[in-house]
Amino acid sequence: MIGATNGATTSAAQQRWPLVFAGLSGALAVLIAAGTAHDLKESMAAPDLERIHTAVRYQIWHALALLGVAALNMRGPSTPLRIAAYSFALGSVLFCGGLYLLSFTGLVYFGWLTPIGGLSFMAGWLALAWHGWRFRSS
């Protein structure tokens, strides 16, 4: 995984999950963007389409961020990279997923997921900064 810094060997599955998640997340974002741009734009309300557009944008950017974390992990795993990977993945599920669920179902109950996902995204970026700070000073 974007493993521990104690020198323990990490399994191949732990090393590759961020890359797999990034690929699947990016593919899902493209699928949803294409579906709403072509098939659903006539049947969905403008606010729903705008929420989906926001979710797709955040999902693509954070799939790329997770891809970067996976690449950095190849140079050497660290706790900040592990935190960044989990945070970006969780943020994608909660922030983007919350907006998708709200837009596709109309159930406002899903709206509470979005701010928690946003905080998770911020935690990921701060963990990435922490990794950079540690790398600079070591």
In a domain, 4, yes or no: no
In a domain, 126, yes or no: yes
In a domain, 2, yes or no: no
Q: Which domain holds residue 68?
A: 13-137
In a domain, 70, yes or no: yes
Do the beta carbons of residue 29 and residue 56 sit within 8 Å?
yes
Mind listing the pLDDT tens digit for each residue in 76-116?
Answer: 889 999 999 999 999 999 999 999 999 999 999 888 999 99
Tokens 């997770």 label which residue?
66
In a domain, 64, yes or no: yes
Mind listing the pLDDT tens digit for each residue in 22-33?
Answer: 999 999 999 999
The Cα 56–Cα 92 span in angstroms is: 10
In a domain, 132, yes or no: yes
pTM score, whole prediction? 0.86
In a domain, 55, yes or no: yes
Total domain count, the chain: 1
In a domain, 33, yes or no: yes
Task: Tell me the pLDDT of the chain averaged across its residues.
Answer: 89
The Cα 103–Cα 49 span in angstroms is: 7
